[in-house]
Amino acid sequence: MPQVEVKIGAKEHQFECGEGENLLFEAISRNIMIPFNCTSGRCGRCRIRVVEGAENLSELVDREVLRLGEEQVEQGFRLSCQTYIHGDVRLEVPQPRFY
């Protein structure tokens, strides 16, 4: 079973999940609160950054590129609602910036 590590601020969470499971839904089911609004890739709020294991995630979909932009995609960002797990991965949830 794939091992998933998620860092949110100073907290680190780890869990196992089944092959092909949706990242956002798996995290939420374990009380790991990745911010989200829509679960369809339209809002872009469930943005995560892949630290390790990008090859173990589903392929990037057009909706992610449209919402995130090429620059963020190149930096390893994905939308967790559009991402499916196929192997071990380490992720981080960017902290919101307050101005």
> What's the total number of domains in the chain?
1
Tell me, yes or no, whether 12 lies in a domain: no
Tell me, yes or no, whether 18 lies in a domain: no
**For the segment 36-84, what is each residue's pLDDT rounded down to a tens digit?**
999 999 999 999 999 999 999 999 999 999 999 999 999 999 999 999 9
Which residues, other chains included, contact 98 with Cβ-Cβ below 8 Å and sequence gap of 6+?
Answer: none
**For the segment 5-30, what is each residue's pLDDT rounded down to a tens digit?**
999 999 999 999 999 999 999 999 99
Tell me if 85 sits within 8 A of 2, measured CB to CB: yes
pLDDT of the residue at 86: 98
pLDDT of the residue at 48: 97
Tell me, yes or no, whether 49 lies in a domain: yes
Tell me, yes or no, whether 50 lies in a domain: yes
Tell me, yes or no, whether 28 lies in a domain: no
Tell me, yes or no, whether 79 lies in a domain: yes
pLDDT of the residue at 97: 56
C-alpha–C-alpha distance, residues 37 and 90, integer Å: 23
pLDDT of the residue at 99: 44
Give the domain extent around 61.
36-85
Tell me, yes or no, whether 44 lies in a domain: yes
pLDDT of the residue at 94: 92
Tell me, yes or no, whether 17 lies in a domain: no
